[in-house]
Structure 1
Amino acid sequence: MASWNLANTQHHLLICNGSSCKKEGAEELTQSIRDEIMAKDLDSYIHTSRTLCNGRCQDKCVLISYPDGHWYKEMTSDDAPRFIDSLMNGNTIADRISHTYNGKGFVRSEGTPAGKEKNAELVKKVSKNL
């Protein structure tokens, strides 16, 4: 098995290919993301991994971006160009982010149902445990 040279890697994308996401086009999303990376000659900067279920089936298709810690929801193959451009420009697709790592834990984006209330609760809970 070959080893991937990660020396220049700036982003690692985990693309869910669990059964719920697959039914919603996860394989097409994976290929579109990879095609976009190749077309823009970004292979040495962006690494992708196809995963099995990430436990957020209601958010299908799920894409997780590291090191920024964003969990994207409802991604489709049509989002690939905009998503890769946003990564390279240091931006996000804010309306597709369901959760983000804040240094203490993952918090729901305010745009998701119950996000504001859950964020406040979680931050309080996590801060208490530090």
Structure 2
Amino acid sequence: MATWNLTTTKHHILICNGGSCNKAGAEELTQSVRNEIMAKGLDHIIHTSRTLCNGRCQDKCVLITYPDGHWYKEMSGRDAPRLIDSLLKGSYIKDKVSHSYNGECFVPSEETILGVHKNEEM
């Protein structure tokens, strides 16, 4: 297994590959994002990781960007170019963001379904 030197990395993209997201196209999303990064020669500044479930199955496919702290919803492979361009410009895809980190906590967008609190019974 590789140990990546992350000293030039500016962005980390976490792509949910949990059950619901996989059924909704997470593999296509993962490959499209990685292909866009490679095509633009950005491997040295954008790192990707597959995750298991991120707990926002309603929002499938889920993608999270750091250090900016945006949680994206309903992502597909078609969104990859727009996502990478937004990272390079220091912006985000407003219509796809479910939550954004404000320095203290994650704030939902107006259209986001809040879901249940972790301490509530389902």
Question: Which TM-score applies when normalising by structure 2?
Answer: 0.90
RMSD: 1.0
What per-residue deviation string (whole Å, max 9, x for no partner) do you get for residues 9-43 of structure 1? 00000000000000100000000000000000000
Determine helix, strand or coil for the equivalent of 1:110: coil
The Cα shift of 1:110 comes to 2.2
Query: Which residue in the other structure is 1:126 paired with?
Result: none
The Cα shift of 1:52 comes to 0.4
Query: Which residue in the other structure is 1:85 paired with?
Result: 85
What per-residue deviation string (whole Å, max 9, x for no partner) do you get for residues 93-115 of structure 1? 0000000111111110123357x
Query: Which residue in the other structure is 2:112 paired with?
Result: 112
Query: Which residue in the other structure is 1:28 paired with?
Result: 28
- CA distance in 2 between partners of 1:86 and 1:19 (Å): 27
Stretches of structure 1 lacking an aligned partner (at least 5 in a row): 115-130
Amino acid across the alignment from 1:23: K
The Cα shift of 1:2 comes to 1.6
- CA distance in 2 between partners of 1:78 and 1:92 (Å): 15
Paired-residue identity, %: 72
Runs of 4+ in 1 over 6 A off after TM superposition: none
Q: Look at both structures and tell me which one has the larger radius of gyration over its CA atoms.
A: 1
Q: 1:59·1:73 contact (CA, 8 Å) conserved in 2? A: yes
**Which residues in structure 2 correspond to 1:1-130 (within 5 Å)?**
1-113=1-113
* Segment of structure 1 superposing worse, 105-114 or 53-62: 105-114
Identify, as 1 or 2, the structure richer in helix: 1
Q: 1:95·1:111 contact (CA, 8 Å) conserved in 2? A: no
Determine helix, strand or coil for the equivalent of 2:100: strand
- CA distance in 1 between partners of 2:50 and 2:61 (Å): 12
Stretches of structure 2 lacking an aligned partner (at least 5 in a row): 115-122
Question: Which TM-score applies when normalising by structure 1?
Answer: 0.85
- CA distance in 2 between partners of 1:15 and 1:7 (Å): 21
